[in-house]
Structure 1
């Protein structure tokens, strides 16, 4: 069973910090503000525990800053062009929170609300389940959407995140977790010497505003090729147009052989600590974001500071702007049908 501690009050609602762990020393901390992953403690190659997730020590900082550190983001993660989409012949206007565009659910997305704690389920692994009701019209989306997110720490040193949703109207849904990982340890510097593998032969081309145009390109002979473990810093300053547009990496890769079954999307390896993180998902895409816009202005945990590229995100997802690109897998959720999505972050030592 999880350990539950007070973490503050937001909008008159109690916010808690939940701790779940396994017998091998792995510990995860989650708050019901934003369904946010606050901390993940795993061992390095010397057997020492270290926190590999960027986050804050106070709920007030999660409210104040807009980097989505560790948050559950939705109703639709990533970007929607012109903050609008058409569904069943109706045009829906969404909240604009990135210029003319919509990102990560809007001005008050799932990352900025207090979730409800669900009844614990007795099982061999420790878990916490949170729920939220997103009402019809919230941030412009149709339908009353009931959402559940379940975090589990397994005996295999996995952090498993399971997403469930159901709506009373046709709507669009694309949930993900926006944790920033640094396998050397949060606040330890940049992630440019981390090695990354992405199980992908193709990626979606972005325009200057980091929104997919609908065009799909092969990674061959480009800085987007991570099919074998490659230092993140190797090509991050390239003059390749896609890198210039994103000020680094902020792109969606199409996972090879994706299906509704768990499939390996990526792997990260830090030679310094020996830590390895494998990412598995049931979704067709993964957004690799190299922390290009962290500014070192916000207080991290333990007095640390998060500078540019101080963490990396691997957000499992439908492709960004999918609702406006017919050739992308559809994020439409039909009324009374079940949305389900699982992602696993598995930690080991090499």
Structure 2
């Protein structure tokens, strides 16, 4: 089912596409390719809003596809083939975050195709958009399976070498409790990227052993948070993008009756516990979301990779195809 969700200030309509298969039902917007609502056996498992105004006011990219480069780039500076590029500095005037003020999460995507269980959206980002070189075409396909999985496939091509690091940024809460601090989290990573005061990776790859960020055997998010600063770190899943999805993480509700597994091709998993969540808009639960109201499990490349030669590359060249696959499996 397709309906008009609202109008942007310039009069352009935003469409909502409803998907349903097996135990899953999703509502997807053409604005930001946002997953507005996702339900497993009728229960909401992500944060979302009922009005377009709420999404226009949102600064947390709730449910959106984030790009051209997710996460942070120090100083918004790129050097590609001896050419320097300055990106939009949309965080504190010093850092490029999530593709800039006019990034993919703030754009209208074109509805290319849809059926009862799948939707295909397309976005063209022109040369110079937010300071990036090259014109890129991006496709995202959301598919629900009868076995209870949400599949996300993102592809992109470019006419000039440019960094591409895309992610789907749902905020998960498997039982719609006020916070996810009682949820249990397991991460298939033995290392993470420490960051400086601006949340930029220092370049070190640090083992998680004997740190509050060791989720290899599963632990309470709240317990880890009490032992450390708020969680907003990239975990190193692999040294490069994989050809097929592999297990990355598992999230379990406070009571243990709901579980979600994350499988991905991506080399990194940015985990954010929404400690700074601040949108006062009313959410799907009928009340404003609060700090720690959801958990982001953003499958992506390592942040600020353009400035770290030892990180997996995020550069996409004209002769290459970018392909990112992630599955969220519910039980």
Settle same-fold status: TM greater than 0.5.
yes
CA shift, 1:295, in A, is 2.7
Find 1:107's aligned residue among 83, 87, 101. 101
Partner Cα separation in structure 2 for residue 235 and residue 225 of structure 1? 8
CA shift, 1:12, in A, is 2.9
What is the 5 A alignment of 1:156-305?
156-185=147-176, 188-238=177-227, 243-244=228-229, 248-256=230-238, 259-272=242-255, 274-295=257-278, 297-305=280-288
For the Cα contact (< 8 Å) 2:191–2:235, is it kept in 1? Answer: yes
The aligned counterpart of 1:316 is 299
SS in 2 for 1:150: strand
Partner Cα separation in structure 1 for residue 23 and residue 184 of structure 2? 25
Partner Cα separation in structure 1 for residue 56 and residue 302 of structure 2? 27
- Pair 1:96 & 2:89 matched: yes
- Pair 1:78 & 2:78 matched: no
Partner Cα separation in structure 2 for residue 128 and residue 71 of structure 1? 14
The aligned counterpart of 2:28 is 30
**Superposed CA offset, 1:244-285 (max 9, x none):** 3xxx10000011586232111100011426110000110100
Partner Cα separation in structure 2 for residue 299 and residue 178 of structure 1? 19
The CA RMSD measured in Å over matched residues stands at 1.4
TM-score (normalised: structure 2): 0.96
CA shift, 1:25, in A, is 3.0
SS in 1 for 2:205: strand
Q: How many residues align?
A: 328
Runs of at least 4 residues off by over 6 Å: none
For the Cα contact (< 8 Å) 1:201–1:256, is it kept in 2? Answer: no
For the Cα contact (< 8 Å) 1:169–1:336, is it kept in 2? Answer: no
CA shift, 1:229, in A, is 1.5
More moved, 72-81 vs 12-21: 12-21
The aligned counterpart of 1:334 is 317
SS in 2 for 1:301: coil
- Pair 1:344 & 2:308 matched: no
The aligned counterpart of 1:46 is none
For the Cα contact (< 8 Å) 1:54–1:301, is it kept in 2? Answer: yes
CA shift, 1:290, in A, is 0.3
For the Cα contact (< 8 Å) 2:238–2:268, is it kept in 1? Answer: no
CA shift, 1:68, in A, is 0.5
SS in 2 for 1:235: helix
SS in 2 for 1:236: helix
CA shift, 1:303, in A, is 2.1
- Pair 1:7 & 2:5 matched: yes
Partner Cα separation in structure 2 for residue 255 and residue 171 of structure 1? 23
For the Cα contact (< 8 Å) 1:184–1:273, is it kept in 2? Answer: no
More moved, 195-204 vs 272-281: 272-281
For the Cα contact (< 8 Å) 2:239–2:312, is it kept in 1? Answer: no
